[in-house]
Structure 1
Amino acid sequence: MLKRLWLILGPVFCALALVALLVFFYPVEIKHDAETEKRSAVTLTAENFKSRSKKMTALTDRKLRFVPFFGSSEWLRFDSVHPAVLAEKYDRNYRPYFLGQRGAASLNQYFGMQQMSSQLEGQTAVYVVSPQWFTKTGYDASAFQQYFNSDQLTAYLSQQQGDAAAQYAARRLLQLYPGVAMAETVQKIRDRRQLTSFEEDYLKMMTQFNQRQDAVFSMLAAPNNDNYDRQVLPYVDQLPDAFSYQDLEKIAIKEAKKHTKSNDFGIDDNFYELRVARKLRKYKDFQQRISYEKSPEYGDLQLVLNQFAKSRTNVIFVIPPVNAKWAAYTGLRPDMYERTVAKIKYQLASQGFSNIADFSQDGDKPYFMQDTIHMGWNGWLAFDKAVDPFVANPQPAPSYQINERFFSKEWAQYTGKPEEFK
């Protein structure tokens, strides 16, 4: 009987043992290749978003300076003046490394940052804060789990310092992923209890295992998608050799006119036909009761700010607008939107994050938006005018004054004047 079981299960155990040995002893070494890293920077898949190895490889390349651009799905809105296209065409002293996915917001970004905290140290970053993230209930659990992995977990646990940020992150993690691995350890962090020596040793082992596992599977994974070859290089060839915002604006407007003929909202035709046209009547006034003023996202954003302060990262925050015509049609209240933006900006500026590019009032400008909530064409040019000088001329981070009150439920639910919050 035992011999029969061994014949059946023996090969499985041997295979698992070989995989474990491979993972534990696989040499984690970084080999730089500019062309591969350029493709990785615009891949924008969930796998790339979660991978430690790909981010670390690009962000440690000293010959080609990659700068993390944090956001969500706006990076997928490629056109002739997309940030990746402009950086490539005009051979800037940096290349954006895009970190964003549809449905990803500050909490996913925070846990992703734990994988690259060393690469953030003393560096420059761009962070897009979309008011649409700040919904009443906050994150959808399935969306969060989709972009979370075990390497992020152990990276966070191994670096946490038992402070308010670590406690808040643990609480949010358990809310959105109750069945997360090492849940008892996360609970101890939430409750500010000391880990046992066995738990600390186990955490060290799993941290090493997950890092090496990521390196192995990143090596074995399918090649990056073709965004660089299909969405960047063709546009590069269409732009003038001499950089001029005036000339680029003419190109952007010409392209925008060509791609917004099917509707009166100024929305890209393909997006409109696929996502809007068939349900247009249902969208009438459907956002009348929506508010972004009360949301757990304010605490999640504070996690990100805490990490930037800890890493002494100099950041420019970008606040995009919504398509004004679309907002009017769907009933989104402009006064509510303005109050939300004011609350976000107060949370940033009052802690020393004073580099803010606020485009929230520009949603009615011609060809500024590519769809309902994402910038494109003239919007990208405005983005570039604010972001490029900041990124191209890196400066030390200002002195941040982190205030733990922004982790509180009271702030998350506050709707008064931000400067009067107590």
Structure 2
Amino acid sequence: MKKPTFGPIILAFIIVILLISIPNQWISGVVNKQTANHLSNSLSTTVFQGIAVQKEVMKEPNFVPIYGSSELLRFDSFHPSNFFEKYDPKYTPFLIGRGGTQSLIHFLSLSSVYPYLKDKQIVFIVSPQWFNKRGLDEARFSPNFSKLQAIELANNNQIPIDIKKRAIHRLLDYSIVKNDHMLSTVLKNSIGEKTNQPADNIMANYLVNPYLSIVKKQDIALSKFNVGARIFNSNHYTTPENKSYSELLQMAEKQGEKTSTNNPFGIRNSIYSFHFANKINDLKNINTKVSYNVSPEYGDLQLVLDLLKSAHAKPLFIVIPVNGYFYDYTGFKKENRSNYYKKVSNEIRSSGFDIADLSSHEYEKYFFRDSLHISLKGWVYIDQAMEAFLNHKST
């Protein structure tokens, strides 16, 4: 009978001890400005679920974090990643988000870099579809949730306690948080809500710091070596140089005219053919009872607003519309859409922040690529709003 060998087990044990015992500050320097610059348009989950790269982004004044969702990966000639390279290269847009990264997910990202937010200019794109009746559901929350950032929130004593309590109670609505005994105990303990389960308290007190030490090192390593990152190649698109915004809009109009000829909604031909053509009759008046008037997302957005205000950050909020032609066709009432635009804009303005309200462009052809995702003319308007905000211009 072959004798068991314990060498691999002992080696693994030694590696774990080293990972826990090596101070994070010894290796934190491997993630630097160059790392962040390389990952600026990767939309990597490592970035928005981590901390190491986002800290570098916040520390460097030339990086402009853009928080959003699925619209960020709709690259074209007028996308901010291309526009600023040609028109204002002192700024580098840094994209944070993907589909499902709504206000609560962005709150966690922002809370993890809270000490660096003071006077930092950031851009936050608010999408209408976030504000459905359910808000951010479990299916979109879970794959975008960061346990590392949640523990950092628990450990952060700089964040005002009322904001912290509201955020933690909201996080505990989700099973991925609620059913994680160590995490839920750490979160509750951080706001003075003790659990009656001794085992949970022992786990929280003795395991969370070793766990955090390992995960932070993992964050640094994955960020440095670009694990899982898809680096966008700006050479795929040619951004016209030395043009006025009106000229850029005309060029976007011409591009849109060429690519949107098979439908009355201004949707790109390929997208319409693949996603809409076969079911277009079924979509007629399907949303007559739908509105964005009531949604948990308003509370989640308020968390972001309150966090940024307490940190003395300098955000620009961009309120984007939906494709009015398509939403009219599906029966989503214009009155309900207008109520949403007013409600979300008033919520932002009441916090005293800058806002670029683009809701008047609902019926502007080629502002969208589909029913709600911006591109072409939409990006030109956003570029203009961002450039004015960053350079303190009036629009």
2: CA distance between counterparts of 1:337 and 1:197?
Answer: 50
Aligned match of 1:186: 187
2: CA distance between counterparts of 1:19 and 1:99?
Answer: 31
| Structure 1 residues not aligned, in runs of 5+ | 396-422
2: CA distance between counterparts of 1:223 and 1:199?
Answer: 30
2: CA distance between counterparts of 1:238 and 1:351?
Answer: 36
Residues 37-59 of structure 1: per-residue CA shift (max 9 Å, x gap): 34411111333332322323344
Change (3 A) 1:223 1:60: farther
Residues 121-147 of structure 1: per-residue CA shift (max 9 Å, x gap): 221111111222111111111211101
Change (3 A) 1:239 1:118: same
2: CA distance between counterparts of 1:169 and 1:192?
Answer: 14
* TM-score normalised by length of structure 2: 0.87
CA RMSD of superposed structures (Å): 2.8
Change (3 A) 1:20 1:341: farther
2: CA distance between counterparts of 1:73 and 1:346?
Answer: 24
Identity rate of aligned residues, in percent?
28
Q: Secondary structure at the match of 2:100?
A: coil
Residues 385-406 of structure 1: per-residue CA shift (max 9 Å, x gap): 22211123499xxxxxxxxxxx
Aligned match of 1:212: 217
Residues 348-393 of structure 1: per-residue CA shift (max 9 Å, x gap): 222222x111111211012222211122212222222222111234
Where in structure 2 are the equivalents of 1:16-55 lying within 5 Å? 16-22=13-19, 24-25=21-22, 27-32=27-32, 34=34, 37-55=36-54
**Residue 126 of structure 1 contacts residue 318 of structure 1 at CA under 8 Å; is this kept in 2?**
yes
Match of 1:175 among 167, 173, 176: 173
Residues 46-91 of structure 1: per-residue CA shift (max 9 Å, x gap): 33332322323344346xx111111111111212111111101124
Residues 224-262 of structure 1: per-residue CA shift (max 9 Å, x gap): 3231x1xx2332x4413x232233223211211121122
Query: Counterpart of 2:258 in structure 1: which amino acid?
Result: K
Aligned match of 1:145: 142
**Residue 127 of structure 1 contacts residue 315 of structure 1 at CA under 8 Å; is this kept in 2?**
yes
Deviation at 1:344, TM superposition (A): 1.5
Matched, 1:322 2:319: no
Query: Counterpart of 2:230 in structure 1: which amino acid?
Result: N
Q: Secondary structure at the match of 2:165?
A: helix
Q: Secondary structure at the match of 2:273?
A: helix
Q: Secondary structure at the match of 1:371?
A: coil
Where in structure 2 are the equivalents of 1:368-379 lying within 5 Å? 368-379=367-378
Aligned match of 2:93: 96
2: CA distance between counterparts of 1:374 and 1:246?
Answer: 22
Number of residue pairs matched? 383
Aligned match of 2:302: 302
Aligned match of 1:417: none
1: CA distance between counterparts of 2:277 and 2:18?
Answer: 54
Q: Secondary structure at the match of 1:315?
A: strand
Matched, 1:118 2:115: yes
Q: Secondary structure at the match of 2:29?
A: coil
Matched, 1:364 2:369: no
Change (3 A) 1:350 1:200: farther
**Residue 160 of structure 2 contacts residue 310 of structure 2 at CA under 8 Å; is this kept in 1?**
no
